[in-house]
Structure 1
């Protein structure tokens, strides 16, 4: 981990959950901040500018979905990692989270060692990203800029959620190559996060909504590819 302590904000209305996560993350050397509901979480995020935010979904005053949606509209948090924490197992909760820009999804009950490993992996992957990939792709009429996590089409700037950007970058890095769902999951979500095929479909749909339908095509029963 970097000598500069990375900041994690925990937003959960259950004090024992906050304390459990805070204790384990502080042992890892993180700066940890907490909030008891979505409204407090948004206010605290504005103050401390965390590197990663852990959001419970079911909270009073403002739930995690709405807090994430609101934060993603602010420039300071367009690329901040957002991890949802929830006891709800319904698929629609997971899909709703990814729809508003979540990067990961962790189910309760919390397993401290597994959660810490997940957080370490997410932030380490972000720190190393510029070292292992090119900073910019120019393909067709798109410029995909890894340093800013922005996509440009001519003079138009297209803002994507972090996972949407990473998915587009992966596909565009090898135009014409078909990426299976398994390869996409391994490269974008790794083995540590439980996601479904539906999750990939949601991210593809969001990409098409923002970019248009002509860039990413579906190879039925196999996966997806970027059309060169």
Structure 2
């Protein structure tokens, strides 16, 4: 990881923003820019695309969920990893953030070591599509090309976040075998001990919304399985 790794921190509490900036510059060798307002952050994204975003939800001019939705609607930031860092600890807030495309969710108060670990895990996946196995998957309705980070359903391109793509490709690579929540966490997040297992459920739910309910099967008490379309 080099100093060229650009992280944008969107946090209106100046003390927290400074603490996060120092931590990431020290432990992850990142070039960190901080923003107290959503409009300033979006303007910066139009000039330079970040490699990762740390996003608070409670901002003076907007809601972080709105910013997350905006980032996922732009081509340049559609796959940029987003770590939500917020005091909102309710399950509904976590699910909403993940459903909108956030890759991870950390609640305040938080451990700086855990923050660094989660950021490092996300940054390891910034170039994920270049490190996926060779080859593509295709069936009667679905085509998945990991080398191009591309998914099509019935001929129409479907935009997935990095994490959604990683979950989908992991299930495809199992060749019809069942994967438990914990196995998916280990394979995709690499932080199974600190990530809520329900994060997997939220990503599966989003994949079904984007690709159809018939793509991923739930086996109650066991986990999830990819279902080809003939």
Alignment correspondent of 1:13: 12
Alignment correspondent of 2:25: 26
**Greater mean alpha carbon deviation, residues 90-99 or residues 134-143:** 134-143
Distance in 1 (alpha carbons) for counterparts of 2:48 and 2:125 = 22
Structure 1 gap segments, 5+ residues each: none
Distance in 1 (alpha carbons) for counterparts of 2:225 and 2:162 = 19
Q: RMSD over aligned Cα, in angstroms? A: 1.9
Structure 1 residue 218 displacement after superposition: 1.0
* Superimposed CA distance per residue, residues 147-192 of structure 1 (whole angstroms, 9 cap, x where no aligned partner): 3422023531111122221111111112310001110121122226
* Superimposed CA distance per residue, residues 2-30 of structure 1 (whole angstroms, 9 cap, x where no aligned partner): 4x520000001100011111112222321
Distance in 2 (alpha carbons) for counterparts of 1:125 and 1:207 = 19
Alignment correspondent of 1:93: 93
Structure 1 residue 135 displacement after superposition: 4.2
CA contact (8 A) 1:217 1:225 kept: yes
Alignment correspondent of 2:77: 77
Runs of 4+ with >6 A deviation: none
Alignment correspondent of 1:118: 118
CA contact (8 A) 1:6 1:51 kept: yes
Decide which structure has greater helix share.
1
Q: Paired residues, what number?
A: 225
CA contact (8 A) 1:143 1:151 kept: yes
Distance in 1 (alpha carbons) for counterparts of 2:210 and 2:73 = 15
Structure 1 residue 146 displacement after superposition: 2.1
Distance in 2 (alpha carbons) for counterparts of 1:129 and 1:79 = 11
**Greater mean alpha carbon deviation, residues 153-162 or residues 101-110:** 153-162
Instruction: Tell me the SS of whatever aligns to 1:76.
Output: coil
Structure 1 residue 52 displacement after superposition: 0.1
Distance in 2 (alpha carbons) for counterparts of 1:123 and 1:46 = 21
Structure 1 residue 208 displacement after superposition: 1.5
Structure 1 residue 122 displacement after superposition: 1.6
CA contact (8 A) 1:78 1:161 kept: yes
CA contact (8 A) 1:8 1:51 kept: yes
Structure 1 residue 128 displacement after superposition: 5.8
- Distance verdict in 2 for CA 1:37–1:148, change over 3 Å: farther
TM-score for both structures, normalised by structure 2: 0.90
